Chains A and B, each alone.
Chain A
Amino acid sequence: METAVDIIFSGLSMGAIYALVALGFVLIFKSTGILNFAQGELCMIGAYICYYFATELEVPYLLAILAAIALSCIVGALIDLLIFRKLVGEPVHATILVTVGLASILVSLAGLLWGHDPHSIKSPFIGKTFTVSGMIFSQALVVTIGVSIVLFFLFILFFKRSLLGIALMGTAEDSDTAGLMGINVKKMRMLAWVLGAFVASVAGIFLAEQSFVHTGMSHIGIKAMAAAILGGMQSIGGVVVGGVLVGLIESLAATYLTGLALGGFHFGDIKDVTAFVIMILVLMIRPHGIFGIKEVKRV
């Protein structure tokens, strides 16, 4: 039975995942100027590593998650070290294409190591529910939303209170000036990639808990861009709002539009494109997003 609460709840948990992916995406974009098309693939890699430890090696679940996050961070650092450090100052299309190439390498690696078939993660939260005043909630969804909220608070604290976070924000604002002020810009770029991979792996693990681990899950990266665009690519708050909105709208559209037909046109699987429709609408009406500030270019 699909009640309004269920719909909103699953929309919220999906929105939390979108917001996490979009956060990594915005972090990397702001600090390095790279539109990372491999963000979804980083999620996928995180989920696969978690699956490998939890299901194939049967390590305790929490340890498996920690290992997946740690390894994902290393992958992020390596990506910066081996590829993007050498591409600083290259034009936009070159860096975008490199991330696209990176995405295909990551998918092919995952395919070579684990095959095409979807795997399921042995998570202690899957299939368990609890009841609050007559309404049944799935534990996996609650954990997703709860952990995401905690993570967002930690990130806001990190960027507002810690020296490292402020240095990262400064690099994102203006990397040349940041360099002159004594901030190690190279390190900051690497940190952005590490943090981006970190949130991506967390999102990937949550996503895998809701369905399966498979190479197609990298699709979330592109959908999360819609969240980032909607929020405005500027602040953590914007990203969260964007992600939650995209998740909610998607969940509502999937419930109310599926099965409709309009003169030979069927609205099945509308979930796949809702995010893109939102993206196009935002770009046409308010390209800098809800919370973004319009960029003014000087000649």
Chain B
Amino acid sequence: MYRKFKVSYKEDMALLQNRWQKSWLAVLVLALIIIPLFLGRYQLSILNEISIVLIGALGLNLLIGYTGQLSLAHGAFVAIGAYASGLLTAKLGMPFLISLPLSGLIAAALGLIIGIPSLRLKGLYLALGTLAFGFIIEYIIQHWDLTQGDLGMAVKHITIGPWTVKSQLQYFYFLTSFACLSVLVTNNFVRSKIGRSFIAIRDRDTAAEAMGIPIAKYKIIAFSLSAFYAGMAGCLTAHYSRWIVPGSFGISLTISAIAVIIVGGLGTVLGTVLGAILITGIPHVIVYIVDMLQDSYPALSGLMAEIKLGIFGLVIIGTLLVEPKGLVGIYQRIKVYWKTWPFKY
């Protein structure tokens, strides 16, 4: 394998450390451009779902994985983003390119509101406070005339200037490039001063404060940043599914987002990507298997929701019992094994 010693900090900080990584990235990009042309609508819709989940989960990982603040209000921020963009484009006729960042900003502003009380709360209490916030937001959306409650709200297609994003393939290119951009931004962000401060707060907040990191400021930044990502994910969900109801942004969305980052590996961007693929993929695999077994066990399809929920729970518990570092931990173990093969160390 091609190796060399690093002689400057710039080389050490580089995102792509060697030619191998660069060439594999090029292969991946080519694959992302070419393969979708041969996929059907259903496969594309799974990939689109993964992209949206990934964007939201990246923000949550910044908050839970990097800053160590346990928040259970992710679903609420996604809902805020979705409804903000839906209302802005429908009622005010705002173009999508403005409503996308604006929905993120609105969510971030509300994130600021829970960020401030969170300065007093830690661990479990923070989890409970954010959980309560999530339920209250869901209640408000359900009971406000503006958001039409359980009736749901129709949202327009994404329009950028003269183009309208309509088919699954167009959505795929749009959402995937947006997800790739988010991954790149997050990757750069966590290496910056703010990102390193987040990690310091997670590892030991008292020591971080003693080293001159203003904890209050960075915790609030982490909250609003995470809400910003979630808001944009919500905006994309709204325009992609074109119909939003409050029920789809409840506690179950929060739980699956947390499952993404934990199953993938907390505090790693690669883990979030792997987790998003796995957690979004599992229900589709289950649907596929149940469909196959339908002829011999016709009763199965009626129990689909329970089977999905149960397997989901098993995957989460299994991951945490067997491999607490998540998929990234497995990946690293395999990598070390092959690097040193046939020796053990």
Question: Which of B137-145, B188-196, B221-229 sits within the interface?
Answer: B137-145
Q: Provide the residues of chain A in CB contact with B121, threshold 8 Å.
A: 283, 287
Looking across the interface, which residue of chain A has its beta carbon closest to that of B118? Answer: A283
Q: Residue among B303, B306, B316 with the most chain A CB within 10 A?
A: B306
B129 x A112 contact (CB < 8 A)? no
Q: Does A101 contact B (CB under 8 A)?
A: yes
Chain B interface size, as a band, is 35 or more
Q: A90-B320, A265-B143, A283-B129 are in contact. Are A273 and B135 (CB under 8 A)?
A: yes
Q: Provide the residues of chain A in CB contact with B315, threshold 8 Å.
A: 101
For chains A and B in complex, what number of residue pairs have CB atoms within 8 angstroms? 132
CB 8 Å contact bits of B281-322 with A (1 = contact, 0 = none): 000000000000000000000010111111011111100110
Q: Could you tell me the dominant secondary structure of chain B's interface residues?
A: helix
Q: Provide the residues of chain B in CB contact with A284, threshold 8 Å.
A: 117, 120, 129
Q: Return B216 CB to nearest CB of chain A, in Å.
A: 16
Q: Which residues of A contact B (CB under 8 A)?
A: 29, 35, 83, 86-87, 90, 92-94, 96-98, 100-105, 107-109, 111-112, 222, 225-226, 229, 264-269, 272-273, 276-277, 279-280, 283-284, 287, 299
Q: Residue among B124, B129, B136, B314 with the most chain A CB within 10 A?
A: B124
Looking across the interface, which residue of chain A has its beta carbon closest to that of B64? Answer: A93
Q: Does B247 contact A (CB under 8 A)?
A: no
Q: Return B219 CB to nearest CB of chain A, in Å.
A: 15
Q: Return A198 CB to nearest CB of chain B, in Å.
A: 23
Complex CA distance for A279 and B258, rounded to whole angstroms: 22
Q: Does B164 contact A (CB under 8 A)?
A: no
Q: Return A243 CB to nearest CB of chain B, in Å.
A: 16
B320 x A35 contact (CB < 8 A)? no
For the complex with contacts A104-B310, A105-B309, A269-B143, 19 further pairs of A-B residues with Cβ separation under 8 Å are A35-B127, A92-B127, A96-B70, A98-B316, A98-B317, A101-B259, A101-B313, A108-B306, A108-B309, A108-B310, A111-B305, A222-B135, A226-B132, A264-B145, A265-B144, A277-B132, A277-B136, A280-B117, A283-B132
Q: Does B146 contact A (CB under 8 A)?
A: yes
Q: Provide the residues of chain A in CB contact with B258, threshold 8 Å.
A: 93, 97, 100
From A93, A225, A299, B128 is in contact (CB under 8 Å) with A225
* A-B pairs with beta carbons under 8 Å apart, 23 shown: A92-B124, A93-B70, A96-B70, A98-B316, A98-B321, A100-B258, A103-B313, A104-B313, A108-B310, A111-B305, A229-B125, A266-B145, A268-B143, A269-B139, A276-B136, A279-B132, A280-B132, A283-B117, A283-B129, A283-B132, A284-B117, A284-B129, A287-B120
Complex CA distance for A104 and B305, rounded to whole angstroms: 11
From B64, B123, B129, B309, A280 is in contact (CB under 8 Å) with B129
Q: Which residues of B contact A (CB under 8 A)?
A: 64, 70, 117, 120-121, 123-125, 127-129, 131-133, 135-136, 139-140, 143-146, 206, 255, 258-259, 262, 266, 303, 305-310, 312-317, 320-321, 324
Q: Provide the residues of chain A in CB contact with B314, threshold 8 Å.
A: 101, 105
Q: Provide the residues of chain A in CB contact with B132, threshold 8 Å.
A: 226, 276-277, 279-280, 283
Complex CA distance for A96 and B130, rounded to whole angstroms: 14
Q: Return A222 CB to nearest CB of chain B, in Å.
A: 7
B320 x A222 contact (CB < 8 A)? no
Complex CA distance for A125 and B36, rounded to whole angstroms: 63
B312 x A92 contact (CB < 8 A)? no
A104 x B309 contact (CB < 8 A)? yes
Q: Provide the residues of chain A in CB contact with B70, threshold 8 Å.
A: 92-93, 96
B143 x A108 contact (CB < 8 A)? no
Q: Provide the residues of chain B in CB contact with A87, threshold 8 Å.
A: 320-321
Q: Provide the residues of chain A in CB contact with B125, threshold 8 Å.
A: 229, 283, 287
Q: Provide the residues of chain A in CB contact with B262, threshold 8 Å.
A: 93-94, 97
B320 x A109 contact (CB < 8 A)? no
Looking across the interface, which residue of chain B has its beta carbon closest to that of A38? Answer: B313
Q: Residue among A92, A97, A268, A277 with the most chain B CB within 10 A?
A: A97
A105 x B317 contact (CB < 8 A)? yes
Complex CA distance for A112 and B305, rounded to whole angstroms: 9
Complex CA distance for A284 and B114, rounded to whole angstroms: 10
Complex CA distance for A225 and B131, rounded to whole angstroms: 11
From A29, A100, A272, A280, B316 is in contact (CB under 8 Å) with A100
Looking across the interface, which residue of chain A has its beta carbon closest to that of B134? Answer: A276
Looking across the interface, which residue of chain B has its beta carbon closest to that of A35? Answer: B124
Q: Provide the residues of chain A in CB contact with B135, threshold 8 Å.
A: 222, 272-273, 276
Q: Return A296 CB to nearest CB of chain B, in Å.
A: 13
Q: Provide the residues of chain A in CB contact with B206, threshold 8 Å.
A: 299
Q: A87-B320, A107-B309 are in contact. Are A100 and B255 (CB under 8 A)?
A: yes
Q: Return A262 CB to nearest CB of chain B, in Å.
A: 10
